[in-house]
């Protein structure tokens, strides 16, 4: 990426692994890379899920009062209590995936491949890999292992640092 | 008429930008790329994209719900 006219840098700490929260980091990483920035993503805690070879992401209505699905021309809220009913979160996930397709929104798999193709650097947090008993073999090709100091050193050289 | 045409209609953020970045690689230096999009957010995003990447936006038009941008590759 050093031949780009814009050699600014961005880093991101990715901590969440649900379908909805997977979007912001990958959208920003791929767009920044397309704009010529050098991008580093540091995956920790549930964010590690986003590096697994086979993605099986879902959304939950629990603790998400802002989640309102467009249905029958209305926006239907999802009270916390309904997520306790078996199948509700699965239905919400299916509905979200349906909308994603219908509206021409990229899938996470697509954005993740685009990130890898555009040389976005990915660091998997060693400590949470140990904690959740993951190995790099569980993950896509590309991520390297690192810890807090690795991230901080990189972040000091960045123009944008985000925590998602 | 632009040298290359990219149809990004029906695609949502950030796909038009990502596809445009890819398509621009096949355009010769000084050549032009026309992008068609239906995402209204693409209008502002493309302005930022060309500014940040050092390319020139020659034209930006809206024809009904279809937006068209012509870019000259300079970087």
pTM: 0.86
- HSE-CB for B42 with a 13 A CA cutoff: 29
CB B6 within 8 A of CB B20: yes
Count the neighbouring beta carbons within 10 Å of the beta carbon of residue B64: 6
Output the pLDDT for position A6. Answer: 52
B21-60 residues touching A, CB cutoff 8 A: 21, 39, 48-49, 52-54
Q: What is the pLDDT of residues B2-36, one digit of tens each?
A: 899 999 999 999 999 999 999 999 999 999 999 99
Domain count for chain B: 1
CATH of the domain at B57: 3.30.110.40
- Which residues of B are identified as catalytic? 13
- Name the residue facing B75 among A5, A31, A105 (closest C-beta): A5
**pLDDT above 90: residue A41:** yes
Task: Write out chain B residues lying below 8 Å of A105, CB-based.
Answer: 12-13, 15
For A43, the token pair is 């995956």
What is this model's ipTM?
Answer: 0.82
Range of the domain at B10: 4-72
For chain A, residues classed under CATH 3.40.1260.10 are 9-54+107-163
Phi, psi of A35 (to 5 degrees): -90, 10
Residue A138 has pLDDT above 60, yes or no: yes
| Beta-carbon separation of A5 and B11 below 8 A | no
Low-confidence winner among A71-75, A119-123, B38-42 (lowest mean pLDDT) = A71-75
Q: Provide the pLDDT confidence category of residue B45 given band limits of 50, 70 and 90.
A: very high
How far is Cα B22 from Cα B24, in angstroms, rounded to an integer? 5
Q: CB distance B52–A36 less than 8 Å?
A: yes
Which architecture does CATH list for A9-54+107-163? 3-Layer(aba) Sandwich (3.40)
């Amino acid at each position: 990426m050093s031949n780009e006219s814009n050699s600014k840098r961005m880093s991101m700490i990715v901590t969440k692994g649900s379908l909805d929260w997977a979007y912001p980091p990958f959208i920003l990483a791929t767009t920044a890379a397309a704009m010529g920035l050098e991008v580093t993503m540091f995956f920790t805690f549930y964010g590690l899920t986003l590096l697994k070879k086979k993605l099986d992401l879902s959304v939950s209505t629990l603790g998400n009062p802002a989640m309102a699905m467009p249905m029958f021309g209305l926006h239907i809220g999802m009270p916390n209590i309904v997520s306790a009913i078996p199948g509700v979160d699965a239905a919400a996930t299916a509905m979200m995936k349906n909308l994603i397709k219908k509206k021409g929104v990229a899938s996470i798999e697509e954005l993740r491949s685009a990130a890898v193709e555009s040389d976005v650097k990915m660091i998997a947090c060693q400590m949470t890999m140990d904690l959740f008993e993951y190995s790099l073999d569980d993950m896509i090709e590309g991520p390297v292992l690192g810890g807090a100091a690795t991230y901080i050193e990189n972040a000091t050289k960045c123009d944008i640092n985000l925590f998602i | 008429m632009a040298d290359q045409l990219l149809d990004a209609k029906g695609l949502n953020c950030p796909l038009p930008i990502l596809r445009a970045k890819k398509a621009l690689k096949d355009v010769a230096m000084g050549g032009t790329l026309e992008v068609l999009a239906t995402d209204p957010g693409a209008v502002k995003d493309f302005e930022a994209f060309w500014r940040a990447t050092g390319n020139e936006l020659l034209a930006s038009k809206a024809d009904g719900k279809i937006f068209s941008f012509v870019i000259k590759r300079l970087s």
